Chain A
Amino acid sequence: MEEKSMSDIKVKVKEKDLIKIQEICKSFDNKPGELINVLHKTQEHFGYLPAEIQEVVAQELDVAVAKVYGVVTFYSFFTMLPKGKFPISICTGTACYVRGADNVLQEFKRQLNIEVGETTDDGKYSLNCLRCVGACGLAPVVLVGDKTYGRVSPEGVKEILEEYQEK
């Protein structure tokens, strides 16, 4: 992303991306206080928030890029990695956790061969944890995209993935 020469630091970004980010920032009057809202909109558009996009947001809102990165890494909703075609979220809230969410998570990691926050090489699946979707009666809960799966056991993981194999 960066190229360092003797005297300055350059950040490279595509023109249409730059224009889009400028548009989003402008819709929030380029106010530094709107950083989180700007990041929401930006992620909505790009799907994720890579470094060069954070650099542009920082410049447009006149906040330090370190601060932007701080916000992006603090809130689990924001991601610096592109999500998969089928984003998988495992609830690790209290109810799900005590009913074995961790075992389910481990099984997803094993089957997909990725860690939490990562995306499979083919871009098909990404894996994330979230806290409570308000369906504790169905614990442990797994979401794939918008679809909810309840009372998931490690044994059921394979079955869920098979559903998306051909898609």
Chain B
Amino acid sequence: MNKIKLTIDNKQIEVEKGTTIYKAAKELGIYIPVLCYMNLEGLNIENKPGGCRICVVEVEGRNNLAPSCSTDVWEGMVVNTHSMRVINARRTVMEFILSDHPKDCLTCAKSGNCDLQDMAVKLGVREIPGQEYAEMSTYKIDFSPSIIRDLDKCIMCRRCEMMCNDFQTVGALSAFNRGFEAAVGPAFEMELEDSTCTYCGQCVAVCPTGALTEKDHTRDVINALSDPTKKVVVQTAPAVRAALGEEFGMEPGTLVTGKMVSALRRLGFDYVFDTDFAADLTIMEEGTELLDRLTKYLGGDKEVKLPILTSCCPAWVSFFEHYFPEMKDIPSTARSPQQMFGAIAKTYFADKISTKREDLVVVSIMPCLAKKYEAQRDEFKVDGNPDVDFSISTRELAHLIKEANLDLNILPDEDFDKPLGESSGAGVIFGTTGGVIEAAVRTAYELHTGKKLEKLDFEQLRGFEAIRKATVDFDGTPINIGIAHGLGHARKLLDEIKAGKSEFHAIEIMACPGGCIGGGGQPLHHSDTSILKARAEAIYREDAGKPIRKSHENPYILKLYEEFLGKPMSEKSHHLLHTAYFDKSRKIEIS
């Protein structure tokens, strides 16, 4: 390895060749402010267009200031990160960025959680000279089912473009136009709804301003809660409990399951249930489907489609509908836990409490923005009435709790209501990459072999590596499992299947980095991977502490089958818990 010695702020350091000034300074504990730059360490997600120029430093012997995020060190380099020249330059750059930025911070959805706002404070901006020369862009606000785009607030950091293209390989967003008009968006300024966007929300998760935010449904939820004629049911996804605490100043990785239930009850929800229950149900259906295909395959059936792909992640579903429509019969037909919950709540549970479908409102709390879109899909509606009425993100729930003047920190722990609030540890781990397939393996193994699993923790399926492969021994039958998080990584596995080179029997795919814990609706990670890791650890901790850790042992799931569904993949199950996929690819036709 080539080592390079340099001096930063009079401190000497030796780093590897190819290191940037920014990273070398960080090793010395010197923080250089950055805006467009972002780095999710260990996940291979880095954005360094060197565009915003906030991170400039002075380098001896170089005339102009150097952007530290994208300038490599050299031997004997002498860097000054906070000379008067640097401080002035940074403030001037910030003033330029703000000159054509809307000044509606008071009502902006990002206010208080905005990197741009924070940077303006940090750099001591008190006035914006030259505003009169700036031309404000006037783009129409795009309200998609999941994401709101207000391009006048775009500062061209291009983080969203990097996530959408490099990480997700979705390619819905690209920088376009120049100067004051420059922004990032789909081709021809079309709406997201008309593009190949999957609503994964990773653009929102990294946007440093209010240009990209979620479609807020908190007003709709408040209206439903205020309506005396409605019974309002809430379900909470597994990843929410591992992140919600962050919005209330708690350490990343703090589990707030009981406090969250308590808060929801105080907000006025009539029944506080758990999406984890539906995750257990998903395992029953998806696991049975996996075993069914596997048994046929092992029995010599050449027609059967393998590998089976998980179908819980709505962004992933959109992704293969857009890009791999010819493979739409490979994923499991099982609906996602959110939708299974909605279907069961509006039939089985509505009957139990003698409430008509239209008087029951189902709200879901999700770490995800694609869930908003999923809830609105036509196939999940009965006579126009959706199985899930409103899907709100972890961030929106935090807003609701704060608006109601509740402090999560001092709320007591409470338990979910029954029957749709009971879940196994397998349902909990759905919230992190590798969790769905681990949950499926726990059940499929026992159902297939008729033997009890000695060890429930499948360490080989866990972790943050982009693509993971493992072989699980099903009592003499080796089952090959693949896991990918991030749609770009999923694409690689799909290309293998397409080429007939895949050796997997089952593949789990989640669109977001780290799985749902890193979803587009979660508290902003501000490019800190350790936050995502702490959330994943919390999920496994919750699982380990559960008395029941296998989906097929959840007594309320067994009761649901006994009283209502019959058995997995029954006709009723097919009707309520399974779905079909559609070809959404862009097609060029001769006119």
* Residues in chain A within 8 A of chain B (CB atoms): 2, 4, 6-15, 18, 51, 54-56, 58-59, 63-70, 73-74, 76
User: Is B584's CB under 8 angstroms from A69's CB?
Assistant: no
Interface residues contributed by chain B, number (CB under 8 Å): 29
User: Is B591's CB under 8 angstroms from A14's CB?
Assistant: yes
Q: Would you give the shortest CB distance from A33 to chain B, in whole angstroms?
A: 15
Q: Would you give the shortest CB distance from B495 to chain A, in whole angstroms?
A: 12
> Which segment, of B23-31, B168-176, B425-433, faces chain A?
B168-176
Within 8 Å CB of B378, what residues of A? 6
Within 8 Å CB of B170, what residues of A? 64
Is B188 interfacial (CB-CB < 8 Å)? yes
Q: Would you give the shortest CB distance from B381 to chain A, in whole angstroms?
A: 13
User: Is B188's CB under 8 angstroms from A51's CB?
Assistant: yes
For this complex, 14 residue pairs linking A to B, each with C-beta atoms less than 8 Å apart, are A8-B584, A9-B586, A9-B587, A10-B587, A10-B588, A10-B589, A12-B590, A18-B590, A51-B188, A55-B187, A66-B171, A66-B195, A67-B165, A73-B176
Q: Which of B176, B194, B195 has the most CB of A within 10 A?
A: B176
Interface string of B402-437 (1 = CB under 8 A from A): 000000000000000000000000000000000000
User: Is A18's CB under 8 angstroms from B187's CB?
Assistant: no
* Closest chain B residue to A21, Cβ basis: B588
User: Is A56's CB under 8 angstroms from B176's CB?
Assistant: no
Known: A8-B583, A8-B585, A11-B586. A66 touches B591 (CB 8 A): no
User: Is A54's CB under 8 angstroms from B584's CB?
Assistant: no
User: Is A56's CB under 8 angstroms from B177's CB?
Assistant: no
Return the 8 tightest CB-CB contacts between A and B, nearest first.
A64-B171, A66-B174, A12-B591, A70-B174, A69-B187, A7-B582, A65-B187, A73-B176
* Closest chain B residue to A72, Cβ basis: B176
* Closest chain A residue to B178, Cβ basis: A74
Known: A9-B586, A13-B588, A13-B589. A64 touches B172 (CB 8 A): yes
User: Is B175's CB under 8 angstroms from A70's CB?
Assistant: yes
Q: Would you give the shortest CB distance from A16 to chain B, in whole angstroms?
A: 10
Within 8 Å CB of A2, what residues of B? 190, 194
Within 8 Å CB of A6, what residues of B? 378, 582
* Residues in chain B within 8 A of chain A (CB atoms): 165, 170-178, 185-188, 190, 194-196, 378, 582-591
State the CA gap A2–B587 with chains docked (Å): 10
Q: Which of A9, A59, A65, A66 has the most CB of B within 10 A?
A: A66
User: Is B177's CB under 8 angstroms from A8's CB?
Assistant: no
Within 8 Å CB of A12, what residues of B? 589-591
Within 8 Å CB of B585, what residues of A? 8-9
Within 8 Å CB of B588, what residues of A? 10-11, 13, 18, 55-56, 59
User: Is A8's CB under 8 angstroms from B587's CB?
Assistant: yes
Q: Would you give the shortest CB distance from B315 to chain A, in whole angstroms?
A: 17
Known: A51-B188, A66-B187. A11 touches B174 (CB 8 A): no
**Cβ-neighbour of A13 out of B582, B586, B591 (below 8 A):** B591
State the CA gap A67–B591 with chains docked (Å): 25
User: Is B584's CB under 8 angstroms from A9's CB?
Assistant: yes
State the CA gap A58–B196 with chains docked (Å): 13
User: Is B591's CB under 8 angstroms from A68's CB?
Assistant: no
* Closest chain B residue to A64, Cβ basis: B171
- Supplied contacts A65-B171, A69-B176, 17 more A-B pairs, CB within 8 Å: A8-B586, A8-B587, A9-B585, A10-B587, A10-B589, A12-B589, A13-B590, A14-B591, A18-B588, A18-B590, A64-B174, A65-B187, A65-B586, A66-B176, A66-B186, A67-B171, A74-B175
